Amino acid sequence: MQPKSPENSRSPQHVTRRDALKTTVAAALASTASVAGLRSYEERNLVAQEAQNAQNTQNGQAAQVDGRSGATRTSFNVKPRAKLNAKVPLAKLGKDLVVSRVILGGNLIGGYAHARDLIYVSDLIKAYHTEQKCVETFMLAEECGINAFLGDWNQGQMMSNYWKWTDGKMKLISQCTDDPDVVKRTIDCGSAAVYPQGETCDRLVREGKLDRLAQIVETIRDAGLPAGLGAHRVETLQAALDFGIVPDFWMKTYHPLTYWSAQHPQEHDNVYCRRPDDTKAFMEARPEPWVAFKTLAAGAVSPQQGFRFALDGGADFLCVGMYDFQIVDDINIYTDIAANPSGARTRRALPDVDRAEYERKLEEAAEAEADA
């Protein structure tokens, strides 16, 4: 049951996704238009050079070198928001829970940047994600077919406000710790599914407290919710399985190790899946759904590479942290890769849920509730 939030006289009026998206798109256009007000000589010169490069390319001449790797911005050609090519497909996470193949990750909204040694980034992204921005982000995600957000009980109030203020249907998949009070709060905050978070599972296995891990999973199931297991280390999942813990779904990090900081001899919040080959092999033998997270290594891997790697490796769902301005592009990349498989995947394929039929049933249920 979704929790009720206290009345707030300053709460925005109830809006539909269509209305909110009009506001979001208008803001994006205004941001684009503001770039036209270039004042400095450097800005005018750079834009002129960009135009000359485009003309040279059209005439078959070599474009001037654009130092995009430097710290100084060398281009003011603002990219307009892409057109959505297709909504992300749906599948079942557990027996009955229908979830989009791409789940909106909660680290960015929660301020967990994984920015290596940049100490200001977490505060920056928390300042960016006002409650209004979160609502706009959820609505845009739903327009792209995303129907699930991965967060925790602390974000339950935000989700409750979203459900209250809009007609959105975003589901909350929540992670919990091993604190019994936190487990209860997580179950009671409107969650559609719950799992003990990766760091918690990794620690409980290291400490030999597998009985406590099993108890958490059973508590979640007793509440009538799908229960998952999270991990950053594949050894954690194997130990849980050997102990007899079989979750309804797995939450496991998965990304390539081809990016620069992954090769650094000292680890500092820069590697999240140390053994991707072993992770792939473990999941190969498991029939339960697998949600791969950290698929872009917290921004170190491109969506083109990270999504392909995860789908080829056998992931059924991807949990991806995205800013609002990244969502349409990322979903277009995902749907293109999913529609054009490389043939490298050897793990069984989880069947899609028919979106049209699923949405028809949602509408019928909403009408029946309104008539009751």
How confident is the model at residue 104, as a pLDDT? Answer: 97
Site of tokens 């909350």 = 172
Average pLDDT, the chain: 83
pLDDT of 83 over the 90 cut: yes
Residue 60: per-residue pLDDT:
57
Residue with tokens 């209004």: 132
Helices (H) and strands (E) in the chain, counts: 14, 10
Q: With beta carbons less than 8 A apart as the criterion, state whether 159 and 151 touch.
A: yes
pLDDT (tens digit, 9 = 90+) per residue, 321-345? 999 999 999 999 999 999 999 999 9
Q: How many CB atoms lie within 10 A of CB 264?
A: 11
pLDDT band at 12 (very low <50, low <70, confident <90, very high): very low
How far is residue 141 CA from its own chain's centroid? 10
Decide if pLDDT at 268 tops 80.
Answer: no
Q: Residue with structure tokens 């003309």?
A: 55
Domain 90-361 sits in which CATH superfamily? NADP-dependent oxidoreductase domain (3.20.20.100)
Q: Which of 220-224, 273-277, 296-300, 335-339 has the lowest mean pLDDT?
A: 296-300
Beta strands in 154-298 (DSSP E): 171-176, 193-196, 228-231, 249-253, 290-293
Please tell me the predicted confidence (pLDDT) of residue 264. 84
Residue range 24-77, pLDDT digits in tens: 444 443 333 333 344 444 445 445 555 555 555 455 554 443 333 344 433 334
Specify the pLDDT at position 76. 39
Q: 152 φ, ψ to 5°?
A: -145, 180
pLDDT in tens, 214-266: 999 999 999 999 999 999 999 999 999 999 999 999 999 999 999 988 888 88
φ, ψ (nearest 5 deg) of residue 26: -60, -40
Quick one: tokens of 360?
Answer: 């028809």
Give the pLDDT score at 369: 85
Q: Name which of 75-89, 279-293, 315-329 the model is least confident about.
A: 75-89
pLDDT digits (tens, 9 = 90+) for 193-209: 999 999 999 999 999 99
Rounded distance, CA 203 to CA 199, Å? 6
Q: What is the pLDDT of residues 100-156, one digit of tens each?
A: 999 999 888 877 777 777 788 888 888 898 989 999 999 999 999 999 999 998 888
